[in-house]
Structure 1
Amino acid sequence: MAPLTFGALVYNYQAIDVMGPTDLLNSSSRELLNALKVYAPIDESTLSRAPDFVFHHIGLTNEPVALLSSHVTIVPTTTVDECPELDFLLLGGPNPEHFQLHPKYAEFIRRHVAAGKPLFTTCTGAFVAALAGVLDGKNATINHIEFEWIKKRFPQVKWTLEKQWVVDGNLWTGSGAVAGMDMMAHWIKENFGLDVLTAGALGLDFEPRDVDGLLTVLLKRYNAIGKQISTHVYKYYNEY
């Protein structure tokens, strides 16, 4: 399987909106799971279905960009003019009050969606997608704190509060930052299997919630695998 290319536009988003989902993807990759075999029993069939990823952080230029939170500055790996072909695009959430979408970014988003490729948004990343016009007439959600505000700003979008994330065709919109990680966990499970997600999430000690915000996704598998790992680690360190 060829590596899947994930891109994230670089602007002043909240750090976890992009770093959380991409870290989960990376932890579920074949490369990371293969490394984790030292510490945990990971079946070969799980490894065979785990994907490989290439990540691109896409700026207007290659100049560093200060993010919205955590005093993090990110250096783009490519630009909108030079970006390789993407399979998936992720939009983190900026502060809507002070954000203006650059026309090059808007066109980049529209072109990606028009090609039928999946677009993921986390938190107010849905605001960015709405500014680009790709959510018009679509079902979507956003950080629930901004719900009433976003309904008035973009009445042409079918906003909902009922779920932690919403899928409408190739558009995946998540609520708050951690709901974006939950959404990505669901995508991993649906595309590569629950065992791939479990192994990847286990490396982060992450228990994803379901679309209703409930902790029902991995709990039983964690309990079973935890016993296997304890035995595996004990044997490994006693042998060496």
Structure 2
Amino acid sequence: MSVFRHHGRHRVAVFVRHGLLPIELGIPHRMMGRAKSAADEPLYEVITCSVTPGAVRTDADFSVNVEHGPEALAEADTVIVPAAHESDEPSTTGSMSPALADAFARIRPRARIASICTGAYVLAAAGLLDGKRATTHWASCLRFQQLFPQVKVDPDVLYVADGRVLTSAGVASGVDLCLHMVREDFGSAVANSVARRTVVPPHRDGGQAQFIERPMPEPGIHGTGTARAWALEHLDRPLALRELAARESMSVRTFTRRFREEVGLSPQQWLTRQRVERARHLLESSDLPVDQVAAAAGFGSAAALRMHLQTALGVSPSAYRRTFRTGGADAAVAQAVGTGR
């Protein structure tokens, strides 16, 4: 008997283990459960499952009652594995118990699989990360690399998407990862709406560093927030580094250093990513020709927009618009479910 209702929504199974962090269980339910179509219909169906249905211990003073067993994995378009803070085979020996291995063997070959924090140990033990880039919580990266030398561990990013397998760093990066998946499934307008409802930033790129040296200006030290706010209002024009630095009355060298300390990216990297987001929004929400979208986003030419969108998303502007503009999120539902995602 199916554990999903088969009403055309993208099916997400959150696979939990004893020692579960409750906040990490809540992230996919909150972020994906809040994604709605233009007709205000849910776009995802999210359920929780485990190796054995019943009470699953958390790292708090309560347990979670899980109704579904591993059969849910066989129907899921996306499987998400949160962290667990109890010793188990993946985190201690790098191997899986027979029950855990049997559960993962049920996952469909085309399903997308993601982890939050040290849930990456399970993905690695299943062999899903062999030869791939991956990340996990910074405090676990060294141990993770020792257990799984075949994985290309990147300790300096929020999340990594390598094909159909995605991994994220600490707890908050699970929010970023889920928003990334919503954005890839149904477009930036839907993801931004989820972010607004949840009161979180709509986009922190996966390549942003886990550590930001000075997330807020120290007392008496001027930051770069004014220049960033001004830049967002003028993305359609060329923005020279010296012009941004002048907005904060800093030298270019000081501004560049302070910017990276606060944002975790260089000014140029940040500007490019903001322009890509602006272009995505315009492609989804307007009928402007591609050259006008490019100009409004500050890329200058349609060719430059195509290059940056291809680099960031692997698609052309016209392909992106066909997916996310015509019929909005409702059209993307059919595409996402139809491709087994």
TM-score (ref. length: structure 1) = 0.74
1:67 aligns to 2:61 (yes or no):
no
Deviation at residue 107 of structure 1 after TM alignment = 3.0
Match of 1:5 in 2: 11
1:56 pairs, out of 41, 47, 53, with 47
Q: Distance in 1 between matches of 2:160 and 2:121?
A: 14
Report how many aligned residue pairs link the two structures: 201
Which amino acid in 1 is paired with 2:104?
I
Question: Based on CA coordinates, which of the two structures has the bigger radius of gyration?
Answer: 2
Which amino acid in 2 is paired with 1:61?
T
Shift in alpha-carbon separation, 1:15–1:94, aligned structure 2, 3 A: same
Deviation at residue 26 of structure 1 after TM alignment = 1.0
1:150 aligns to 2:144 (yes or no):
yes
Q: Is the 8 A contact 1:139 1:159 kept in 2?
A: yes
Q: Distance in 1 between matches of 2:101 and 2:74?
A: 17
Q: Is the 8 A contact 1:6 1:86 kept in 2?
A: yes
Q: Distance in 2 between matches of 1:49 and 1:151?
A: 44
Which amino acid in 1 is paired with 2:66?
P
Q: Which has the higher contact order (CA 8 A, sep 6+)?
A: 1
Is the deviation greater in 136-145 or in 13-22?
13-22
1:78 aligns to 2:68 (yes or no):
yes
Q: Distance in 2 between matches of 1:110 and 1:17?
A: 23
Q: Is the 8 A contact 1:59 1:76 kept in 2?
A: yes
Match of 1:229 in 2: none
Which amino acid in 1 is paired with 2:43?
D
Structure 2, unpaired ranges of 5+: 1-6, 90-95, 210-262, 265-269, 279-341
Deviation at residue 48 of structure 1 after TM alignment = 4.8
1:105 pairs, out of 88, 95, 100, with 100
Deviation at residue 157 of structure 1 after TM alignment = 1.0
Counterpart of 1:108 in 2: which secondary structure? helix
Q: Distance in 1 between matches of 2:41 and 2:181?
A: 13
1:95 aligns to 2:95 (yes or no):
no
Which amino acid in 2 is paired with 1:109?
F
Q: Distance in 1 between matches of 2:41 and 2:177?
A: 18
Shift in alpha-carbon separation, 1:197–1:160, aligned structure 2, 3 A: same
Deviation at residue 60 of structure 1 after TM alignment = 2.5
CA RMSD between the two structures: 2.7
Q: How does 1:7-22 map to 2 (within 5 A)?
A: 7-11=13-17, 12-22=19-29
Deviation at residue 105 of structure 1 after TM alignment = 2.4
Shift in alpha-carbon separation, 1:29–1:105, aligned structure 2, 3 A: farther
Counterpart of 1:172 in 2: which secondary structure? strand
Q: How does 1:1-240 map to 2 (within 5 A)?
A: 2-11=8-17, 12-30=19-37, 47-48=38-39, 52-68=43-59, 70-81=60-71, 85-95=75-85, 98-100=87-89, 101-112=96-107, 115-208=109-202, 209-211=204-206, 212-213=208-209, 214=263
Q: Distance in 1 between matches of 2:41 and 2:164?
A: 22
Deviation at residue 51 of structure 1 after TM alignment = 5.0
Q: Is the 8 A contact 1:122 1:173 kept in 2?
A: yes
Q: Is the 8 A contact 1:49 1:196 kept in 2?
A: no
Deviation at residue 2 of structure 1 after TM alignment = 0.9
Match of 1:234 in 2: none
The one-character-per-residue Cα deviations of 1:17-55 (angstroms, maximum 9, x if unpaired) are: 23113211111234xxxxxxxxxxxxxxxx159752222
Shift in alpha-carbon separation, 1:118–1:83, aligned structure 2, 3 A: closer
Which amino acid in 1 is paired with 2:51?
L
Match of 2:215 in 1: none
Deviation at residue 154 of structure 1 after TM alignment = 1.0
Which amino acid in 2 is paired with 1:17?
E
Q: Distance in 2 between matches of 1:119 and 1:132?
A: 11
Q: Distance in 1 between matches of 2:26 and 2:175?
A: 9
Higher strand share: 1
Shift in alpha-carbon separation, 1:206–1:82, aligned structure 2, 3 A: closer
Structure 1, unpaired ranges of 5+: 31-46, 222-240
Match of 2:305 in 1: none
Q: Distance in 2 between matches of 1:166 and 1:50?
A: 29
Q: Is the 8 A contact 1:15 1:72 kept in 2?
A: no
Shift in alpha-carbon separation, 1:145–1:179, aligned structure 2, 3 A: same
